[in-house]
Amino acid sequence: MITNIYVITAIAVIGGSLFGFDLSSMSAILSTKQYRCYFNQGPDGPPFNNATHCSGPSSTLQGGITASMSGGSLIGALISGFLTDTFGRKSAIQIGSIIWIIGSTLCSASQNVTMLIVGRFINGLCVGICSAQVPVYVGELAPPHLRGLVMGAQQWAITWGVLIMFYISYGSSFLAGPVAFRLPWGLQMIPAIFLFFGLLLTPESPRWLAKKDRWEECCHVISSIHANNNLDNEFIQMEIQQLKDACELERDRTDDTYFDLFRPHMIWRTHIVVFVQIWCQLTGINAILYYITYIFGMAGLSGSSNLVASSISSVINVVMTIPALLFMDRIGRRPLLIGGSISLTIWWTVCAGLMGGYGGPAPPGGLDHIPEQSWLITGAPAKVVIACSYLIVASFAPTWGPIEWVYPSELFPLRLRGKAAALSTASNWAFNFALSYFIPPAFVNITWKTYIIFAVFAFAMTLHVYFVFPETSGRTLEEVEDAFKGVKLAWKMGEGKSHHEKRIASQELGQKEHGEAMHVEDALESI
C-alpha cells in the first residue's frame, strides 16, 4: 500500500485531470475543418454545396454538445454523495474512471451528433463524481498542515489535463478526416485506466473506515501516512481519539441527509459553499477555456496560429496555479478570492471597452464562415484583447481556481461533508452547463456585450465575498461559528491570532504537529 501522501494525491487527482482533458478535447477541435465538416449542418460545405469550408453545427447545437458534459457532471456530482457514503471515497472515484472509459469510447466512435452528446454526457457523470470526491478523499488522508496543498492540487491537475489534451488535439488537427478528432477523444481514456489501477495501491479514507467501524484499518492508515507506522505517536493517538469521539457523537445524530444542509444551523454554510462554485463559473473562465478559439478568431487569428495562441492560455493556467498551492494557507482564502475577482473585473471591462469601441460586425456568416466569430477587431486593440484574455486566466488560476475545491470542505463536519461536497459541485456543473450552452449563441447575437456580463458578475462576487465569506485558513471551530452566528463580521474574522496560532506559539517546536491538529478541518469533525 502506498503511504506517501504526495504520491497518493498525484494518483487521485488524475480524476481532476479528466475534466481538463474533456475541456480541451472540445475547445481545440470545434474550430477545425475536420470537425465542422463531419458534424456539418450547413448551409456551406459538402454535401450542401461545393464550398471548401463547412458551417459545422449550429451555434445552439454546438452549445448543446459542449454543455452535455456539464449536464452529466451535474448528475454525477449529485449521485457521488450516495456512492461515496456507500462504497467509500476510493471506490466512488474508481467507478467514475470506468464510466469515463465508456464515455470516451462512445465519443471516439461517434457517427453523429446524438452519439457524441451521449458520450460526452457519460463522460460528465465521471467528471461530476471525481470533482466532488477527489478533494474529499485526499483531504481526509492528508495531515492537517498539508490539506490546503493536496486539495488544491485538484485544480492544478485540471490545468495539466487542459494543457496536455490541447497539444494532442493541436497535433491531431494536421491529420486528414475524422481521425483528427477521433484520436484525441480515444486517447483521453488512458488517464482513467491509470487512475483505476493506481487507486488499487492506495488506502481508503480513514474517516470513511471509522464511520464503518473498521477501526483496525483506520488506525493503520492514519499511522502509516502521518507517522511512519508509529501507532504510539502522541499526535496519532490524539487524532484517533478525536475521530472516535466524533463518531460516537454522530451515532446519535440523524441530520445527515441533503435536507439537513438547509436546516437553520447549516443553511448559511450551504449558501456559501454553493455560491463559491457558482461565482467560480461566473468569472467567465470557461468562456475562455471552452471558446478561446472563437475569441481569438474575432481578434484576427485563424488556423494553426489561432490554436497555438490559444494553447498559451493553458500554459499560463498551469504555471499560475502553483503560487496558490504554495501560499494559499499563508495568505488566506478571502484575500485571494477578493483580489482575483477585482482583477477579473478590470480585464473583462477592458475587453468589453476595446471590442465595443474599436471592433465592428464581421461579414455575414462570421469570420472564416464560423457564425460565433461575429465580431472583428484588428490592430493594437486586438492584441490588447488577446493579452487581457491571458490576464483573465492568470488572475483566475491562483485565486478562484484552487480555492473553489478547498473552501467548501472546510465548513462542514464529517457526517455531512460528502453530501455538502456533492451539492456544492453540483451547483458548479449546473452553471457550467448553462454557460456552455449560452456562450455560442451569445457570441452570435450580442457579440462583444457578452464581456460586459462577466465584468458585472466579477464585480458582484467581490462584494459578496467581502461581506459574507469568512476566513477559514487556520481558524478554529469557534471562530468559524462566530461568522455564522453574527458575532463577528466576515471581513473581521481573520483579525488577530486565532486560537490555533496562539496554541502553536505557546508549545515547544516538537509539539508543533500536535497543535496543527486543531485546524478548522479537524475541529469541525468534533461537532
Identity at 311, one-letter amino acid code: S
C-alpha cell recorded at residue 513:
504537529
Of 507 and 48, more confident: 48
Q: Per residue in 409-447, is it b (16+ CB within 10 Å) or e — as a string?
A: bbbbbbbbbbbbbbbbbbbbbbbbbbbbbbbbbbbbeeb
Is residue 222 within 8 Å of 3, Cβ to Cβ?
no
Residue 477 is predicted with a pLDDT of 41
Rg, C-alpha atoms of the chain: 24
User: 9, 16, 18: which is closest to 187 by C-alpha?
Assistant: 18
What backbone torsions phi and psi does residue 482 show, to the nearest 5 degrees? -55, -45
Tell me which range, 74-83, 185-194, 218-227, is most confidently predicted by mean pLDDT: 185-194
Tens digits of residue pLDDT in 92-113 = 999 999 999 999 999 999 999 9
Distances in Å between the Cα of 163 and the Cα atoms of 97, 310, 313, 329, 470 are: 20, 10, 9, 26, 33
For the domain spanning 5-204+253-469, the CATH number is: 1.20.1250.20
Q: How confident is the model over 147-155, as a mean pLDDT?
A: 83
Gap between the Cα atoms of 345 and 205, Å rounded: 40
Is residue 184 within 8 Å of 25, Cβ to Cβ?
yes
Which residues face 131 on adjacent strands?
Answer: none
Is residue 105 within 8 Å of 189, Cβ to Cβ?
yes
In this structure, the dihedral spanned by the alpha carbons of residues 322, 290, 105 and 190, taken in order and rounded to 10 degrees, is -20
Helices (H) and strands (E) counted in the chain, each on its own, are 24, 2
Q: How confident is the model over 133-148, as a mean pLDDT?
A: 84
pLDDT at 527 over 80: no
pLDDT at 516 over 60: no
Domain with CATH 1.20.1250.20 in the chain: 5-204+253-469
What backbone torsions phi and psi does residue 507 show, to the nearest 5 degrees? -95, 165
Gap between the Cα atoms of 12 and 153, Å rounded: 10
Q: 121-130, 171-180, 309-318, 415-424: lowest mean pLDDT where?
A: 415-424
What backbone torsions phi and psi does residue 376 show, to the nearest 5 degrees? -135, 130
Q: 156-170, 302-316, 464-478: lowest mean pLDDT where?
A: 464-478
Gap between the Cα atoms of 129 and 254, Å rounded: 25
Looking at every residue in the chain, the average pLDDT score rounds to 86
Tens digits of residue pLDDT in 362-381 = 998 888 888 889 999 999 99
Tens digits of residue pLDDT in 427-485 = 988 998 899 889 999 999 999 999 999 999 999 999 999 998 888 776 644 455 566 66
Please report how the helices 414-445 and 285-298 are oriented relative to each other, as an axis angle in degrees rounded to 10.
Answer: 20
C-alpha cell recorded at residue 138:
485526499
pTM, two decimals, is 0.80
Is residue 376 within 8 Å of 294, Cβ to Cβ?
no
Residue 130 is predicted with a pLDDT of 93
Of 50 and 314, more confident: 314
Which residues face 388 on adjacent strands?
Answer: none
